[in-house]
Structure 1
């Protein structure tokens, strides 16, 4: 981005295509298929394998990595720091605040919504990632989607949280502000703060936020769905189990997961995806979904699938 804030459009590195084609995030051109790093925590016992997997993703054209300090209690950020060390790749790192790790807890995190906690989380991210500024920080709210119980003192007004994040942006500690698990009314309230992305639970089977997706399109805000294939928690419908998806995969000669990801990319041009995995084969398959073309008949069949709400509380 230029000093005046005009979006720049960098070319992809020589010899590397952008998985899913180009998209925009915080004024930067990135691959529409990025990488959600939460699953790297599954490789906690093999740090070298985790670093190698992330480096492989970058070698395949991934230049948008989503993380949080509470993923693996700092392990994931440690892996990202190591994977990006001594490399010339211009990778956009997006982190999130609003919770903190609670090892041994169920779930293994607790809310940290107060302004001073948001600031502390940003400082922790800066330290573990060894960055002078985090390009994008998402505020993980508790208003919608996958939520955890809200204890006393953690029901914090959105305006108070945004004021703290705006201050951190003014100080140069974060570059831009995003929102996660937010309602459409919350997004409307936050628009004056300059929101650069929205992360909500959304998939082919969970399209309750269609109005918010359209609002993001109108405001030129990237829509970055988490749980893009559903089914990440017990009781949630899985895109890969849907008979119509299975039939489409068979006809196209690809996997059901690839159909689910390809549908999201076809559904709206401002969708950016961050599917996560701890397996190199799955990583390659996820990125290959960006090259799948869905014909009009297949799209119409998939669009006709009934949406199932994925709002759920855990813990």
Structure 2
């Protein structure tokens, strides 16, 4: 039994169609970043093919932590690009699961290599990757808490945020890894890094604001960053939160609205924030906009009881 990750690059096919040279540079960066993190982790075995990475390990925590590092470095790399981020960017997307991984050696020739693998975990991870939007790292863990290998694993250095909307195999629960966070670092280092990565994610959103499909993908990435920042919210000093409450009032960003409320209600002092003037003014404005209908639709989906409960608590604490 092994943990297995399947990762590929968001939007890579379109990049190849638009400019083969720039797409090659993006892919080269992905290979170099992946290689730099995996080469010294001797418990991880991986294969890179085109824009896909398959990696597996007997240690679920080592695999999750290593893939999260790859995600952070890929997002960070976008800040150094001079090409338009509307069409060329480096963002991985994928899934990690746990199960049987059967790899067998086969006779090869100089002109034919063989990667013979039979694995329900690979099928699972590929299915997850194909169904998520944005630079997300979806993790599948058994629904039985006593058998979970990722959730409740103190060696996993990312917070796992339950995603009740995703289902594939009924015996599993699914989690978004809040990969902007590296819990192995000090709290101040974590906050500095998450803040910076959020700024990079914002650049990608703004570079794609006229393209709905691309914008939605990048907003999903930004959502992971904002949820990662929840732990740093305090009752009295929240410049990042207040900036988002002020700057993201356009209907295009209805998912950001929802995320900001989730972010508040997942913070250590969730009781103190809804009654803040900045939060109330934000709510009064956006809740009257057409985009708010999408928020209402989202929180009332059958499997979003948790989010709906958070909204009810938010409104109760707001006291207006």
State TM-score, norm by structure 2. 0.27
State TM-score, norm by structure 1. 0.27
Structure with the higher helix share, 1 or 2: 2
The structure, 1 or 2, with the larger RCO (C-alpha pairs under 8 Å, 6+ apart) is 1
